Structure 1
Amino acid sequence: MIRSVLFATAALVAAAPAVAAPKLQSWVTTGDKSQLLAAQTPSGAVAASAVAGLPVIAVDAKERHQTMVGFGGAITDASAWLIQNKLNPAQRDRLLKELYGRGESGLGFSFTRITIGASDFSLDHYSLDDAPGGAGDPKLEHFSLKRPQEFVFPTVRAALKINPELKVMASPWSAPAWMKTNGSLVQGQLKAEAYPVYADFFARYIQEAKKVGVPTDYLSIQNEPDFEPDSYPGMRWNAKDRAKFFGENLAPAFKRAKITTKVLDWDHNWDQPQQPTTVLADPKARAFMAGVAWHCYAGDVSAQQPVTDANPDKEVFLTECSGGEWAPKFDDSFAWMVENLIIGSVRGGSRGVLMWNLALDEQFGPHAGGCKDCRPFVTIDSQTGAITRTQEYYAFGHASRFVKPGATRIGSPAKVGDLRSVAFQNKDGGRVLIVLNVGTKPADFVIAEGKQTFKATLPARAAGTFTW
């Protein structure tokens, strides 16, 4: 492996000699892993002639887009179980501070997702209302948060203590079995007569979770509603019926309970934009919905833009994507994530971007059905507690460490030759520019904002975060 160290360099031409030139700082990750979120040497001013003829990434803070909630990963049952059971208290505290804290050693994750009941990344299959013998429970007398209180909620509360700005999204993989057409958590659909009690179930969950210190800032009513997995909880729910549930059941239930949680539709892939569009066309559903959530497993990120443009009053999120051993090469999967999730999805309107499992063990588990080789942000060795950081960790770190909650996406070109970019302004006025070089050669380029001009270099197949 070639270990050449190529430092991103930068310099500023000041508007006037008497004005102190700010330093451009940068951090680089290369496809060959010779640099991993590596800080580069800050640089000073150069003459304007030094940047003549180079490609220009022009940043425009007057061009304003969405404000950011943040970046992060899902605290699945598997992730929480590992964090709580396979790390000692010091290891656990150190890892959570690394993931949710800020500063030079923290990724600053500010967005997470948890499951309402079991997913494939649980130790077994369960719901939050499993009545004895599978009996119906229309009064929700058997509703219980016992399972999330074991591992998931303590992990969320610990993350919130480190980062109080953390926003939490919750999603079910299935309604309780007794509400479904097949009487099972696996496959099936929601019975029409169960719509009212399922709306009450969601309200109950949000209220009870809040009492034990776990907020629900965002909710989707069904993970991947156009998929019925055969080995773990799931439930098909078509767009017209989801719209009916939003408008006629969930909205009144939330109003009665005075719940202000924002509700997102779809929570599924880029390949069916007609599904959330159908729901948004329903007047009652549209009035209640906050926005649309997307996954990355089928279709193309470009599908977000038309839906975003047609619904400027609605929020957009990318709420699930997973790396895995189907794409094992660091350089390929790292570049894909930066290009499609950190840059593409955010340029398509996303206020937040989430990967799937925060942590898994060395066997890509534990899990109960479903994906056998999904890759997390960090791997926790189940014997020693040793942490291995994956390409997902570094791809997201290029955004989460520098783009703070409340930052605004500002103008920059999507593409300049082999360079891809997205830019932000933090609430303190600081600029953040993320650039990916998809080419096979190093790229010299110019970062320009008004009269400020910086010169930078990125190695081939590398990403850089630039701040000033």
Structure 2
Amino acid sequence: MLVACYPSIPVDPQPDPEKRFEITSPVEVYLSTVDQTHLFTKVEDASVFTKGQAPTSGFDVRINPNIKYQTIVGSGASFTDSSAFLINQVLSNEDRDQLMIKLFDREEGIGLSFIRQPMGASDFARDFYTYNDVPKGQTDETLQYFSIDHDRVDIIPLLQQALRINPDLKIMASPWSAPGWMKTTDSTVGGQLKPQYYPVYGEYFAKFIQAYKDEGIDIYAITPQNEPLYVPVHYPGLGMNAQQQTNFIKNGLVPAFQKANIDTKILVYDHNWDRKDYPLDILKNIPDLVDGVAWHVYGGQVTAMSEVKREFPDHDVYFTEASGGEWVPPFEQAFLGEIKTGIDVFRNHSKTYVLWNFALDENNGPVVPGFGRSTVRGMVTVNQQTGELTYNLDYYALAHFSKFTQPNAIRIDSTKAEGNYTSVAFLNPDQTVNLVVYNMSNQSRNALIHLDDQTIVIPMAAKAVATVTFKIQEKPE
């Protein structure tokens, strides 16, 4: 956790002393088109020109490595109980292993490097559970019956496999509900956390982190509550206003972490862009106890993340959930929506871009009993009847951001023109650039990508998305 959190750096950084750069490697382009003839497909379409010799017809994207923003942690999704069951038990061993490589391996897959794990059941679970369930009417204030045995069946083996494939993987965790006996409803559904249980619930988090560490899984960050301003009536949830979250962090979570020598990051809020007052209230009250803010896509404007960052520049921004689903028609609208969201969240200082379920079945489930019909789409679909595995548009959308963005990459400046095109660029530790550019026009045209005295020209179909990667070096003076 942070030890001091007073504003010290501007959100919009000043450029480094002006350095000039040049491209020192072949330019690789991976293209997706809305007719699906290309789905993150490598194409040999890039030409590099010196200044003055390049075509002038097209849209201009300017990259400036002298202007640096946030360090990137990664992109990914969640092994919900449902996802983990489908991947670990329904898929054949061969298909499971191939899927895991295609998700997490940087050479043979798309190199996902961030996972957000539910702590207990979410809506996408086969049943209701936490790590400390006791019969209704009973309590367990010593956490004698705490156990992560549920996760040892499917979730933990998959996390361990993912870490073997990508040791740079970071894992955060968020509960949908505290154990029912700690709540006003004595149920994982509805209700609020009783203040008398703040200390023991803090210990519950600490036990979870320690138990996972014993399995070789470090928990990088937690949030106190998933979507604390929404209390569902048919799946696990818990209402927690900003004052309650502040009190729980101060009187439960932080003391438990300090007692157990846990340095897992604490991120507040974990809900939509439309209530920036919530994280602001917490940051104003306990800035030195928390590390950042987690955000979801389902309301408000993405600029809320930058507005909070501007007031608290020493606190990091994490974008932690954007689910795909039937409410946005595939392919074109849904795919381009996820591309635009990814670009926008990174341009608004997020260190992560996280979707929701890694896998769901042919009925968009499984879901908890009583949930009803799900309209959510996973990154992949696993058919429970046939065992067939299908890669969905969400997989290819995340590929554009993840495959060539290394851990500890830094976002660098790149231009956009609203309604015309948009882009986001990253500079990796090995000095390769990963640029994601989206031609928002209904017309095919060239992307003219300018880096000092050089211009990369890439023909792009209408509504096409390209990942462009190349190595640069500083020009000698």
Counterpart of 1:113 in structure 2 is 116
**Aligned residue identity for 2:288:** A
Q: Is the 8 A contact 2:48 2:454 kept in 1?
A: no
Unaligned stretches of 5+ residues in structure 1: 1-14
Deviation per CA, 1:343-378: give whole Å up to 9, x if none: 000111110111000001111111112760100110
Matches within 5 A, 1:198-347: 198-282=201-285, 285-340=286-341, 342-347=342-347
> CA–CA distance in 2 between the matches of 1:370 and 1:357?
17
> CA–CA distance in 2 between the matches of 1:58 and 1:229?
45
Q: Is the 8 A contact 2:174 2:225 kept in 1?
A: yes
SS of match in other structure, 2:132:
coil
Q: Is the 8 A contact 2:293 2:317 kept in 1?
A: yes
Shift of 1:334: 0.8
Counterpart of 1:70 in structure 2 is 74
> CA–CA distance in 1 between the matches of 2:148 and 2:115?
19
**Aligned residue identity for 2:367:** H
> CA–CA distance in 2 between the matches of 1:167 and 1:254?
19
> CA–CA distance in 2 between the matches of 1:20 and 1:411?
16
Shift of 1:245: 1.5
Shift of 1:53: 5.6
Unaligned stretches of 5+ residues in structure 2: 1-19, 471-477
The TM-score normalised by the length of structure 1 is 0.93
Q: Is the 8 A contact 2:122 2:176 kept in 1?
A: yes
Counterpart of 1:393 in structure 2 is 395
SS of match in other structure, 1:49:
coil
Relative distance call for 1:371 and 1:420 in structure 2 (3 A) is: farther
Shift of 1:51: 2.5
**Aligned residue identity for 2:239:** R
> CA–CA distance in 2 between the matches of 1:80 and 1:247?
33
> CA–CA distance in 1 between the matches of 2:412 and 2:61?
12
Q: Which shows bigger deviation, 376-385 or 228-237?
A: 376-385
**Aligned residue identity for 1:361:** D
Q: Is the 8 A contact 2:293 2:315 kept in 1?
A: yes
Relative distance call for 1:97 and 1:228 in structure 2 (3 A) is: same
Match among 421, 428, 431 for residue 429 of structure 1: 431
Shift of 1:46: 3.8
Relative distance call for 1:371 and 1:443 in structure 2 (3 A) is: farther
Counterpart of 1:455 in structure 2 is 457
Q: Is the 8 A contact 1:120 1:371 kept in 2?
A: no
The TM-score normalised by the length of structure 2 is 0.91
Identity over aligned pairs, percent:
39
Counterpart of 1:92 in structure 2 is 96
Deviation per CA, 1:195-217: give whole Å up to 9, x if none: 11111111111111111122211
> CA–CA distance in 2 between the matches of 1:160 and 1:251?
27
**Aligned residue identity for 1:360:** L
> CA–CA distance in 2 between the matches of 1:293 and 1:43?
37
1:191 aligns with 2:185: no
Shift of 1:416: 6.3
> CA–CA distance in 2 between the matches of 1:286 and 1:233?
29
> CA–CA distance in 2 between the matches of 1:20 and 1:379?
40
Number of equivalent positions = 448
Relative distance call for 1:417 and 1:189 in structure 2 (3 A) is: closer
> CA–CA distance in 2 between the matches of 1:346 and 1:323?
18
**Aligned residue identity for 1:465:** T
Q: Is the 8 A contact 1:415 1:421 kept in 2?
A: no
Q: Which shows bigger deviation, 141-150 or 448-457?
A: 448-457
Q: Is the 8 A contact 2:136 2:181 kept in 1?
A: no
Counterpart of 2:5 in structure 1 is none
Aligned Cα root-mean-square deviation (Å) = 1.7
> CA–CA distance in 2 between the matches of 1:381 and 1:290?
40
Counterpart of 2:361 in structure 1 is 361
> CA–CA distance in 1 between the matches of 2:166 and 2:330?
32
